[in-house]
Amino acid sequence: MKKPVSIGIVGCGYWGPLLVRNFRNASNCQVQAVCDLSDTRLAHVKRLYPEVNAVNDYNALLKQFDLDAIVIATPVKYHYSLAKASLLAGKHTFLEKPMAASSEECEELIEIAQSKGMTLMVDHTFLYSSAVRKIAEIVEAGDIGEIRYINSRRLNLGLFQKDINVAWDLAPHDISIILYILGEFPVAVNCQGNAHLTPDVEDVTNMSLSFRHKRFATIQSSWLEPRKIREMTIVGSRRMIVYDDLQTHEKIKIYDVRVERPPHYDTFAEFQYSYHYGDSYIPYVHQEEPLKLVCQHFVDCIHSGAQPDTSGQEGLDLVRILEAASASLKANGGPITFGHGQSRMKASTMPANWGVQRSVGISGG
Ligand SMILES: NC(=O)c1ccc[n+]([C@@H]2O[C@H](COP(=O)([O-])OP(=O)(O)OC[C@H]3O[C@@H](n4cnc5c(N)ncnc54)[C@H](O)[C@@H]3O)[C@@H](O)[C@H]2O)c1
C-alpha cells in the first residue's frame, strides 16, 4: 500500500471546490488543506468538507502542512507565480487550464519541474472525457474518411472573466480536443473578435486554425449568447460526427452522409453532385466524470513517476496557440504563422504525450 499523496488546493472559487471533491474521492490521495484569499470561499469549502484545513496565506500552505502536491485553480494571471513557488518548494504541481499567461512562463515552469524531478500536469479536462476519446477512436479507425474540417462552438451568457478574454477562457477546451483528434499542431492561427462590455477584453471571438493539407478548424467562443451551446462538428470525406456535450447520453452522433463530384462528365448538363444520405447512429459512450479521471491521473503519475498525458508540454502548446490568437486579434485577424507545423503521433497512441515538436516561434503577417 502506497503512502497517500497529500494535496493542497489553491483557489476555491467556481472550479476549486470541484477539484476538492474529486481529489477527496481519488484513491491513494488525501486533501489536507485548501487556500483562498477570500474567507467566504474558505468558509464554503469548510462547510462542505469540515475535516480539510483552510488558510488564507499561500506561503503558510506551502510550509505548514506536509504536502506532496499543490493544485492551482486561481485566475490565470496567478498561475505562474504560484506554480513556480510550489515547484521550487519541491511539490508536484497541477495547474488549471490555460497553464499560464505566456509561453515564456510555461517554458520556465517546465524547466523547473524537470530540474526538480517534479510531476507537472495541466488540466485539459476534455481529453479525459469518454466522448472525446470515442471520437478519436472513430477517427483513427478511418470510419469517417479524411477529416476536411472541424467546427466548434462554445457559447453562453457569461461568465465574464476580468483578466482574460473569451478565447483564453473557453477555447482551450476546443483547441485541446482539435489537436488531439487531428494529431497535429497548426501552421497558422487567425482570430477576430470584439470587446463589447469590458474594454480590451474580447467577449466574442472567431478563431481559425490552419493545418497542413488544407485542413482547418474554426472555433467560435462567446460570453454573449442567449443559449448555452457546446457543439463540435467533424466533417469527414465519408461520414460526419456531431458532438453535443450538453446531451446527457447521446453526446456523439455519426451521420453517414457525403457529397461526391462525378469523376468525369462531358457536358455541363451531365454534371451532377452525388449526395449520399445513409443512416445516422449513436455509439455507446461509457459515462464517467472527466474531472474524476483527471485527478486520479495526477495522483497515479506522482506515484509511478510517469509523464502525465497532459503535461506542461501540452499546456505550453495550447498557450502558444492562444498567444498567436491574441497577436492575430491585434492584427485585425491577420494570420500568425508558426515556423514548421509538425505532425504529432496519431490519436490512437493517446493517451500518451502527443509529441508536438517545438516550432521556432511565431511571426505576424
Ligand atoms: N477545466 C475546466 O473545465 C475549468 C472550468 C472552469 C474554470 N477553470 C479554470 O480554473 C481556474 C479558476 O477559475 P474559476 O472560474 O474557479 O475562478 P474564480 O474567480 O471563480 O475563483 C478563483 C479563486 O481563486 C482565489 N485566488 C485568487 N488569487 C489567489 C491567491 N493568490 N491565493 C489564493 N487564492 C487566490 C480567488 O479568491 C477565487 O476564490 C482558471 O484557470 C480557469 O480557467 C477550468
CB distance 91 to ligand 1 below 6 Å: no
> What type of residue sits at position 321?
I
Atom of ligand 1 minimally distant from the CA of 35: 33
Question: What is the Å distance from ligand 1's center to 80 Cα?
Answer: 13
Atom of ligand 1 minimally distant from the CA of 124: 1
Determine the pLDDT at residue 1: 57
Question: What is the Å distance from ligand 1's center to 350 Cα?
Answer: 28
Nearest CA to ligand 1 atom 9: 96
CB distance 74 to ligand 1 below 6 Å: yes
Determine the pLDDT at residue 341: 44
Atom of ligand 1 minimally distant from the CA of 11: 24
Determine the pLDDT at residue 343: 39
Strand pairing partners for 147?
Answer: 236
Nearest CA to ligand 1 atom 33: 36
Pairing of strands 120-123, 92-96: parallel
Atom of ligand 1 minimally distant from the CA of 12: 39
Determine the pLDDT at residue 347: 35
CB distance 22 to ligand 1 below 6 Å: no
User: Do 93 and 115 touch, CB atoms closer than 8 A?
Assistant: no
CB distance 105 to ligand 1 below 6 Å: no
Determine the pLDDT at residue 352: 36
Question: What is the Å distance from ligand 1's center to 200 Cα?
Answer: 21
CB distance 68 to ligand 1 below 6 Å: no
Give the 3-state secondary structure percentages of the chain, helix then strand then coil, rounded to 5: 35, 30, 35
User: For residue 177, which of 151, 201, 159, 141 has the smallest C-alpha distance?
Assistant: 151
Q: How far is CA 131 from CA 213, 233, 242, 244, 247, in A?
A: 26, 13, 11, 9, 11
At 278 the three-state DSSP class reads strand
Question: What is the Å distance from ligand 1's center to 17 Cα?
Answer: 10
Residue given cell 498525458 in the structure block: 309
CB distance 245 to ligand 1 below 6 Å: no
Question: What is the Å distance from ligand 1's center to 202 Cα?
Answer: 19
**C-alpha–C-alpha distance, residues 124 and 98, integer Å:** 8
pTM metric for this prediction = 0.92
Question: What is the Å distance from ligand 1's center to 44 Cα?
Answer: 15
Q: State which residues of the chain have pLDDT below 70.
A: 1, 340-365
